[in-house]
Amino acid sequence: MSLISKILRGTKDILPEKTEEWRRVKDILYKIFLDGGYQEIITPTIEGTGLFKRDKDDTSDIVQKEMYSFIDKGNRDISLKPEGTASVVRSVVETGLINNSLPLKLFYFTQCFRYEKPQQGRYREFYQFGAELFGSESFLAEVDIIYYIDKFFKKLELENIHLEINSIGCDECRPIYTNLLKEYIEKKDNFCVTCKTRCETNPLRSFDCKNPICKEVLNKAPSINNHICESCKNHDKDLKQALDGLNISYISNSKIVRGLDYYNKTVFEFTSREIGAQGAICGGGRYDKLVSEIGGKQTPAVGFGIGFERLIMIIEHQNKQAKLAEKVDIYIANIEKSTFETTIKIFKKLDDDGFKVLFDIMGRSLKSQFKYADKICAKKVLIIGEQEMEKGIFLLKNMETSIQEEFIINDFLEGKTII
Ligand code: HAM
């Protein structure tokens, strides 16, 4: 094989076997969020680089080191979006959508691009399903967002996924804490150079450091939980109380700081230890200043992004694909030339009645057709051969119980129900 160009590092093809599963998972997410009052938004893949690089003091690797940025033919500085949130905010401000009645609840499914070192669960092009809720300062906005994510994981029956929550305070209390942390880091010799440098601009970033020595020393660092103000404390307390009431379990983790700079108060991640080093399946939090930073009126907001590839990895790891498969209600087998006309009428009626019904198109042996029905998870198989035609009946076999029932064709075509 002499391909003129091979797939780029950190990207992947999603082949039909997978796209089917992707679509099913997406459909479940879409249904849950649509039912929850969220509407879909689609934003462009490219944006002006300034949308993401808003602040010269931004300390996040995502914005500082990992963006795919280039100058286009019109001499504009453009970036492939590294995340969905900033684009959604730009869009709702630019189109005025955010000026309509609040809350504004949006979701998206989008490609993101980050120039990271590829490894299992970490790609240079990946997909995020995310949602953003604008307009509420109340902890109930976090409750709303977290409730639907949790509902989705429960619907998929995924196990061992932990919700980890933290409060990183607000503009009033965070600087007091970051100064303390800075002093702590400066006093210790064993922090790595990156932590020491980051300490100047944003000491919280040290919590992202993977160096085991830094991690160890940070275990004894002052905890943000002891330094947030009353208002942030109450917000955190109310949120956790509401989660308790909804039976959503969580772990309080003062080390969650998130990789983007725009958060305040609540930050959270849904994590799993079953998919290797890249265990964060979903991340999000509150960002009350981003809308005004991007040019809109000050509007509080909460949101999250689920990494779709990591989600699929965990579904496959826990073998939950089968649960997702939409079962075929009825598979019509054994169609012969002499029975075709009647069978197709039965098919049409079942289809009109809203059943998921398929008919055999291969003309293989009845045994092979049953094997196929099993493979596509058909609940029932409808058999109508010459013998049945002569008696004016069809057979319906329940694939789970193997019970076979007879139905009179004319009764059925005239409206008698069979399920
Ligand atoms: P994030 O934590 O940077 O947050 O990304 C969200 C999720 O995207 C992660 O939890 C992870 O599952 C997935 N992800 C991140 N990088 C990669 C990668 N290189 N390859 C595969 N998956 C990846 C955000 O992007 C925020 N915009 C979330 C948010 C929305 N916050 C508020 N609203």
Residue closest to 264 by CA, chosen among 284, 294, 244: 284
Amino acid, res. 140: L
**pLDDT by 10s per residue, the chain, length 419:** 788 999 999 999 999 889 989 999 999 999 999 999 999 999 999 999 999 999 877 888 899 899 999 999 999 999 999 999 999 999 999 999 999 999 999 999 999 999 999 999 999 999 999 999 999 999 999 999 999 999 999 999 999 999 999 999 999 999 999 999 999 998 888 888 888 888 888 899 899 888 889 988 898 999 999 999 999 999 999 999 999 999 999 999 999 999 899 999 999 999 999 988 889 999 999 999 999 999 999 999 999 999 999 999 999 999 888 666 777 999 999 778 888 889 999 999 999 998 999 998 888 889 999 999 998 889 999 999 889 999 999 999 999 999 999 999 999 999 877 66
The response to whether residue 83 sits with its C-beta less than 6 Å from ligand 1 reads yes
Q: Which two tokens stand for residue 208?
A: 């992202």
Q: What gap in Å lies between CA 279 and CA 272, rounded to an integer?
A: 5
How many angstroms separate the CA atoms of 163 and 120, rounded?
Answer: 22
Coil vs helix vs strand at 279:
coil
Position in ligand 1 atom list of the atom nearest CA 82: 25
Torsion of CA 245, 247, 253, 254, to 10 degrees: -10
Phi then psi for residue 162, to 5 deg, are -110, 135
Locate tokens 């009353």: which residue?
230
Question: Taking the mean position of all CA atoms in its chain, how far away is CA 238?
Answer: 25
Q: Are 158 and 314 in contact (CB under 8 A)?
A: yes
143 Cα to the center of ligand 1, angstroms: 20
| CB of 310 shorter than 6 A to ligand 1 | yes
Establish whether residue 123 lines the binding site of ligand 1, counting it when its CB lies within 6 angstroms of any ligand atom.
yes
Entry pTM: 0.85
